[in-house]
């Protein structure tokens, strides 16, 4: 049996008394401690392994969700004994090697392990989200993070459980903790937060977008300038794509045989290939064809144009939305959606596919898989999308002479 420290303090209070005493670490004998912080109380077993002091979480002494039973001192002792026996038999406790890992290191490892699942911009967004809003967790061991810690981080940016920065950050923290085998449900699980944060979602603030009737005039003005950045703005508008998908496009992606633009999965938000039927108006936005690896809209500093070029250029045209706000290039997708739905000629699925929005699992399986095939580009489904984009191009560029 393990040696007991004869100098270790004997438990001098009950679990209830320890919790009422406030934040602290209270011994309950046999290397079992009750760690109280911010209203949470976790049982921990402390031991030495590989000459290092380790801790293993044994459960919560308070119910984490209304239907859950808390871990009693008797339960904690039983788990401790089972863990001690496992170690005696030569097993390495799963949580032992992770007990001392700080959140910053765990988050870094999680992001790197899943980097291939995200577009480069999404990866940077995840890094930035953690850096700006979760830095207070960085120095804390993953198994010492409490519900109160997570609530304190989320509350200033919380706009509801289904959208916004807070919603995305909560899910990201939960995934990091899940990867470290933190006791389930983790402190970032919604089941543990729903009674501490608002369940009501605030109204989503859309990107300012140009009124449908004002779009042809803007496109005419852009065509008169005919600079690289003006052509890029027209192309983004006509294709109804996300601007970095268009600005990062190369000539290799343009299929002249089918008049299609195939955006690789690595550059799309959903990490799924997306095909755009090209119209004469869209092709008129492109300059002379370059090498396969050349960008459609190159910058003067190598690489391709970015937000820093298109944003100020669009602002020069002084167009505003119905609320008087300066329009944005991303808002052109909203303008396209409003126009398309108003036509009453095109179904919602066709419109959503042109915008690369999510479909239901059934619709996604029926209309296409994750890769664009030659058969898809000649299918009736893609032909419906081509008819929609032809009509949209004709409307948006009706004042432009190609």
* Tokens read off for 155: 């509350």
Q: How far is Cα 273 from Cα 252, in angstroms, rounded to an integer?
A: 14
**CB-based contact 304:297 (threshold 8 Å):** yes
| Residue where the block lists tokens 């519900």 | 147
Q: How far is Cα 385 from Cα 377, in angstroms, rounded to an integer?
A: 10
pLDDT of residue 206: 65
pLDDT of residue 3: 40
pLDDT of residue 214: 93
Record the pTM.
Answer: 0.57
- For the chain, which residues make up each domain, given as ranges? 15-97, 103-193, 212-396
Give average pLDDT by consecutive 10-residue segment, the chain, 402 residues: 41 75 86 81 82 78 66 89 82 52 90 86 89 89 85 88 84 91 82 83 67 93 91 95 91 92 86 90 91 91 85 90 88 92 89 79 51 79 93 89 61
Q: Just give the CATH number of 103-193.
A: 1.10.150
Common-topology check for domains 103-193 and 212-396: no
CATH of 212-396, one of 1.10.760.10, 1.25.60.10, 1.10.443.10, 2.40.50.1070: 1.10.443.10
**CB-based contact 269:263 (threshold 8 Å):** no
Let me know how many helices (H) and strands (E) the chain has, helices first: 17, 7
- Using a 10 angstrom Cβ sphere, with 0-12 exposed, 13-18 middle and 19 or more buried, the burial of residue 99 is buried
| Residue where the block lists tokens 């077993």 | 45
State yes or no: cis peptide before 185, omega within 30 of 0.
yes
Domain 15-97 in CATH: superfamily?
Integrase, DNA-binding domain (3.30.160.390)
Q: Give whole-number Cα distances, 158 to 147, 204, 288, 343, in Å.
A: 15, 12, 48, 37
**Listed residue (325, 309, 331, 313) closest to 221, CA to CA:** 313
pLDDT of residue 277: 95
Query: In terms of residues, how long is the chain?
Result: 402
* Tokens read off for 370: 């994750």
**CB-based contact 211:339 (threshold 8 Å):** no
């Amino acid at each position: 049996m393990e040696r007991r420290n004869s100098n270790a303090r004997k438990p001098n209070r009950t679990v209830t008394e320890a919790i009422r005493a406030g934040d602290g670490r209270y011994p309950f004998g046999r290397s079992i401690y009750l760690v109280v912080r911010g209203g949470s109380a976790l049982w921990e077993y402390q031991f030495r392994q590989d000459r290092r002091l380790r801790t293993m979480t044994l459960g919560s002494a308070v119910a984490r969700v209304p239907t859950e039973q808390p871990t009693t001192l008797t339960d904690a002792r039983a788990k401790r004994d089972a863990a001690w026996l496992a170690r005696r038999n030569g097993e390495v406790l799963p949580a032992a090697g992770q007990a001392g890992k700080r959140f910053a290191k765990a988050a870094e490892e999680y992001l790197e392990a899943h980097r291939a699942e995200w577009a480069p911009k999404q990866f940077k967004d995840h890094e930035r989200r953690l850096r700006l809003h979760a830095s207070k967790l960085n120095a804390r061991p993953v198994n010492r993070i409490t519900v109160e810690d997570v609530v304190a981080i989320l509350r200033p940016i919380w706009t509801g459980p289904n959208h916004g920065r807070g919603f995305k950050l909560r899910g990201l923290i939960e995934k990091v903790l899940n990867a470290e085998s933190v006791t389930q449900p983790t402190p970032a699980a919604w089941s543990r937060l729903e009674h501490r944060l608002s369940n009501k979602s605030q109204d989503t603030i859309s990107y300012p977008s140009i009124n449908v009737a004002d779009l042809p005039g803007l496109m005419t003005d852009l065509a008169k300038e005919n600079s690289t950045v003006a052509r890029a703005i027209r192309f983004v508008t006509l294709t109804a794509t996300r601007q970095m998908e268009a600005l990062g496009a190369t000539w290799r992606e343009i299929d002249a045989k089918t008049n299609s633009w195939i955006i690789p999965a690595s550059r799309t938000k959903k990490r799924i290939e997306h095909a755009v039927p090209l119209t004469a108006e869209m092709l008129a936005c492109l300059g002379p064809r370059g090498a396969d690896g050349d960008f459609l809209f190159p910058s003067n500093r190598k690489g391709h144009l970015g937000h820093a070029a298109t944003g100020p250029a669009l602002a020069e045209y002084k167009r505003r939305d119905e609320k008087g706000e300066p329009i944005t290039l991303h808002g052109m997708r909203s303008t396209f959606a409003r126009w398309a739905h108003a036509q009453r000629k095109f179904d919602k699925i066709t419109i959503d596919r042109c915008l690369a929005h999510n479909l239901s699992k059934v619709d996604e399986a029926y209309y296409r898989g994750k890769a664009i095939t030659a058969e898809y580009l000649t299918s009736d489904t893609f032909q419906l999308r081509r008819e929609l984009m032809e009509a949209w191009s004709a409307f948006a560029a009706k004042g432009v002479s190609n």
